[in-house]
Structure 1
Amino acid sequence: MRQRTTFFHRNEDAIDPASLQVSGRTLSGPSIKAVREDRFTLGLDELPAELQELLRLSQELYIRWASPVPYQAIGPWSSRLSPGLHVFYTPQADAKANVASDHELCLLLRRLGSVECSTPHKSFSRLPNDRFSHSTALEYYQPVYDLSNFVEYVVQYACAPSDAECKTRFDAVKQASSLDFSYDTISHVVKVTSLWGRQHQPLSISAPASHRVEVGLLTPNEPPHLEQHEIGVTGLLTVLGEDSKPAPTMFTFPSRHKQANTGFSSTFLTPTGLHPTMQLHIDSNQPPMEEDSYCALHALLTLPRTIFADKYQLEDTLFLASKNLTALQYISQPVDLEAPDYVMDIWGSSVLLELSTPVTESKEGFTAEIPLHLRYQSPQHGSESTFEVPYPAVFWACAAEEGTKFPSSPFDRINLGYDGLFGPRTLFWHLDPVAKSGSDQLVIGGKVPVLDLDKSRSINTVTSIVVVVGFAWVVYRLLMVYLRTGYGVAQPVKAAEKKQQ
């Protein structure tokens, strides 16, 4: 196992290098206000047997979790996802391996929380990986906002029953801002990455004897000739157990994800009803790159199956223009426009919309409105149910210069769902989500009317009476017509009438 722990801080939050102490396989120092990333790289033989079997039957598996609590990201960790559990998966081409991995994957996901997954064939939606080769085949999402189940799953395999320190270390993951699990058959290794947003971080790292642990304290740096698609950093690196003191470093690396240094908020217009409208308030209409670079503002909605967007409604250009929308760029398939929530197997749908930004010389905010539709919910005790929708990911997609390449970097984050919908030379400039007033969650919702089980018995009785009375009335009217006209009984034809004919 290899571990890399990185603290990325602003220049004004730097600490004195002389305050860092390296003793054997331990580094300690004063707390620092920074973003912290822990990345573990493991071989398959270091994983639980059930997970080894699943990965051997998989071509690619990426599990991404994002916290519903807002956090501040800096440096190379600017990419964003809607809060919740995202899974991007490509099975092997072998049909037998496909069937086995289907069962194993949903079994694993159910260990991570309240996950409704039967098989990837039924519960996952298909991504258009024929458009760009860097996209996985299948996508899945569930609104899991807590990592407690995941931590319990890891602790039972990674920590001895008497190892309290190990359990305490993993308990800290419950407060993480994001968690990634990545595997592909090319690298044949697993990378598990946890990230904590910018806050005061304790600076005390110990390395077990069997692990290689590298610790970095980095800060932004802008050397001459830094390209727009690159990030420059400087700071200190230490390999625990090998270095006696931190060593200075300076380097640049390509990054497809950067910060737009502006924010957005999301809410539902009231009253919501059965056709709620999501309103996005964007703080700035100015693109992050020079005028000669093409940039377009996008919003990626991740919608649980309780709610959906009507792709036919979003194809009307005049209607889109009235909502400050430009075009529907992508919607996952299939999306049943009529089915109630409780009969569906698929997780929901994802929608990529291009927003229409007002063209002005000055920086100003604007709003965009996205019409959505609720499905009928399961009957319950009470006449109303609640629904929740995570914040979308909002970003500028800008075209990098011709010939720009994005080779692998030490802080790569790929397969986020939307990056596979753009070309390989696209730069993503992310807007920071801001929770609405009075909330500390990046989740919005409302109430929807449902059938009240407490009143359903009387409703059934009245409905039955109305049906019986209506049927009796129809039979009565038919009988009266029959008796008046005599239809159905042969009538003799008079001789005189025959002559006239």
Structure 2
Amino acid sequence: MIRQRSTIYNTGSSHDSVIQDARANSLKLNTSNFLGEDKIVQKSTPFRFIDKIRVQWFSFDNQDFLFSKYSRGLNVFCKPNLHAAGFSKNEFFKEVRGFLTNYIDIPEDAWIVSKDALFYYDSSLFPDRLIQSISSLIGHETTIDLERPFNLDYVYENDQCTVKLNGHTTSQLTYERQSGKRREVGLFLREPGISVRDDIVLAGVRAVFEDKADSEAQDNNKNSDFLQKTLFHVKSRQRKLARRYESKIQPNGLHPFIELEFDKDNKIAQEKKLAFDDDVLQCKLFCYLNLPRSAFIDKYQLPKYLEPLVTFGNNDLELPEYKIDSWGSEFLFEVKMPELSNFQIPLHSRYQLRNETSGLSFKQLPEPIIFYGCDVRQPEFLNKSPFDNRIDVGGNYERFFTNDTVFYHFESNQELLQFTIPTAKDSFHTNQMLTFICIGCGTVYILYKLLLANFASVSGRAKVAPSKKND
């Protein structure tokens, strides 16, 4: 049986005129400009050698209790079950290909090893086949408007598949009781006056559609008891700061910089209530970054305020891009500054194949994620939130922190950064012909010198011979 939970976040101040019709077997809502989340859970075919899979697509910066922030684009994590009987690398990848090729094409050599899982990242690849499969699974009745930016979180774990979609809702929503599906629908708004950032109070109504129709309910009549009033608290693991930053690339030949500029309206002194909220104990500032294989970071050439904590991926400083199969590398830094100010991250570009038209290779990378990681009191309340996304695998930077950590994110544009790498521009055939001519001329010159030396040697022996005879 499929279990689905649909949450609608009313960003207004009242539910008036939102509920259009409520019956025992259906619910109709007017949800223009609301936010929402669909969570779908169902049993899945078990794998022998795959322990966990997580596919995340991130393109939308949500609000309040639905807020989360990951690297923009596609993130895929796959954890092998190393203790499975008969485990082998070949059989594991065969199982991975069998699953992923239905949705996403990832070459076997494109993964990198990260912590305890394989990791693949692409800033532009859209998982359209996976979205189509999910839409088909839930009967194309999504709460989320998939024509606008949205987030996807797909998890396989313990023979169970869990999918979350969140973003803007469609303008009209209708939920109906269906065979083979249990559906819970919640309509909430943030209770003003008593909600704070670390303790959000939600007020609203909830309806549950069981698999079988309620024999006592009459479809033709409105049922006021069908909707249950609900009030509960949410402790969010990921939280927003009012301060924002912008990222841009500073060109510098083969050694560009990522430059981060922070708003000066809200000074760090205001944040150094660095107990941002009542439940916070202590905080540190971090920077998380995914780099495509066209660029890398030399940890020995970092400024003193960037302390590398995590590095995964191919960091061979000598290899050109076309000699690397993996997608790139990931980094986590602690930013050590007495007061937060603008700073730079130095990059190194890898050598490219020639570009015969422009002499430049154009690349993209996601902007760095800048955040505070903070220890909190009573972390068990974080796990109790039905909207908490933390699990053992995936989540970019989340998996490098303990379970009692909350994250405070700066606002940002979340755009992909563009940078260029100088390349050879001349034609290959011209270079090849010049090379052959140079090699040919060099070979002829060497042969000429060898023949000349040999001729001189023979001539010398001929002149000495008569004198030796007279002696």
Do the structures match in fold with TM over 0.5?
yes
Tell me the secondary structure at the aligned position of residue 427 of structure 2: helix
Residue 49 of structure 2 corresponds to residue 57 of structure 1: yes
- Give the AA of the match of 1:236: V
Aligned AA for 2:417? I
| Cα distance in 2 between the residues matched to 1:38 and 1:176 | 15
Distance 1:194 1:393, change over 3 A: same
Residue in 2 that maps onto 1:211: 181
Alignment match, 1:43:
43
CA distance in structure 2 between the aligned counterparts of 1:18 and 1:334, rounded to whole angstroms: 52
Equivalence map 1:63-82=2 (5 Å)? 63-67=55-59, 71-82=60-71
Cα separation, 2, equivalents of 1:256 and 1:404: 11
1:101-134 CA-partner distances (Å, limit 9, x unpaired): 3123235434435x4x333xx43222234xxxxx
Contact 1:272-1:447 within 8 A present in 2 as well: no
Question: Is 1:301 matched up with 2:301?
Answer: no
CA–CA distance in structure 2, aligned partners of residues 445 and 273 of structure 1: 14
- Count of matched residue pairs: 437
* 1:32/1:202 contact within 8 Å kept: yes
Q: d(CA) in 2 for partners of 1:375 and 1:111?
A: 33
Relative to structure 1, the CA distance from residue 142 to residue 148 in structure 2 (aligned partners, 3 Å threshold; closer, same or farther) is same
Q: Gaps spanning 5+ residues in structure 2: where? A: 215-222, 276-280, 465-471
Q: Indicate if the aligned counterparts of 1:9 and 1:219 stay in contact, CA closer than 8 A.
A: yes
**251, 255, 269: which one aligns with 2:236:** 255
Question: Cα–Cα, structure 1 residues 402 and 253, in superposed 2: closer, same or farther, change >3 Å?
Answer: closer
CA distance in 1, matches of 2:327, 2:361: 19
Question: Is the Cα contact below 8 Å between 2:259 and 2:342 reproduced in 1?
Answer: yes
Residue 100 of structure 1 pairs with residue 70 of structure 2: no
SS of residue paired to 2:331: strand
> 8 Å contact 1:342–1:377 — kept in the other structure?
yes
SS at match of 1:399: strand
> Which letter does structure 1 place at the counterpart of 2:54?
Y
User: Which residue in 2 is equivalent to 1:49?
Assistant: none
Structure 1 length normalisation: TM-score? 0.76
One-letter amino acid of the counterpart of residue 68, structure 2: S
Q: Is structure 2 residue 219 aligned with structure 1 residue 240?
A: no
Counterpart check, 1:179 vs 2:155: no
Paired residue secondary structure (1:173): coil
Q: Distance in 1 between matches of 2:130 and 2:8?
A: 24
Matches within 5 A, 1:396-415: 396-401=372-377, 406-414=382-390, 415=394
1:9 aligns with 2:1: no
TM-superposition CA deviations, 1:184-240 (whole Å, max 9, x none): 22xx3211111114x77433333423211111112234787x897544322221113
Matched, 1:128 2:115: yes
- Name structure 1 gaps, 5 residues minimum: 45-51, 130-136, 160-165, 315-319, 360-364, 436-441, 493-501
- Structure 1 residues 176, 327: closer, same or farther in 2, change over 3 A? same
Q: Aligned letter for 1:208?
A: Q
CA RMSD in angstroms comes to 3.5
Residue identity matched to 1:112? Y
CA distance in 2, matches of 1:102, 1:327: 35
Distance in 2 (alpha carbons) for counterparts of 1:61 and 1:276: 35
Find the residue that maps to 1:418 and give its secondary structure.
helix
Whole-Å separation in 2 of the counterparts to 1:17 and 1:92: 51
Aligned to 1:371: 346
Aligned-partner residue type, residue 241 of structure 2: A
Residue 402 of structure 2 aligns to a residue in which SS?
A: coil
Amino acid in structure 2 at the alignment position of 1:421: F
Superposition map of 1:284-323 within 5 A = 286=268, 288=271, 290-291=273-274, 293-314=281-302, 320-321=303-304
Normalising by the residue count of structure 2, what TM-score does the alignment of the two structures yield? 0.80
CA offsets, 1:283-319, max 9 Å, x none?
35537563454222222111122222222222xxxxx
Which residue pairs with 2:219 in the alignment?
A: none
Q: Distance in 2 between matches of 1:232 and 1:249?
A: 11
Contact 1:38–1:195, Cα closer than 8 Å, also in 2 = yes
| CA 66–33 in structure 1, closer or farther in 2 if over 3 Å, else same | same
Alignment partner of 1:429 out of 408, 415, 418: 408
Cα distance in 1 between the residues matched to 2:141 and 2:173 = 16
Deviation at 1:374, TM superposition (A): 2.1
Determine the C-alpha separation between the residues in 2 that align with 1:102 and 1:306: 26
User: Superposed, which structure 2 residues align to 1:461-480 within 5 Å?
Assistant: 461-473=433-445
Distance (Å, rounded) in 1 between the aligned partners of 2:24 and 2:34? 25
**Cα distance in 2, alignment partners of residues 485 and 264 from structure 1:** 78
Question: Take 2:335 and 2:267, find their aligned partners in 1: how far apart are those partners?
Answer: 10
| CA drift at 1:351 | 1.0
Give 1:395's match in structure 2, choosing from 371, 386, 399. 371
Paired with 1:167 and 1:78, the residues of 2 have a C-alpha distance of 24
Out of 273, 290, 312, the residue aligned to residue 332 of structure 1 is 312
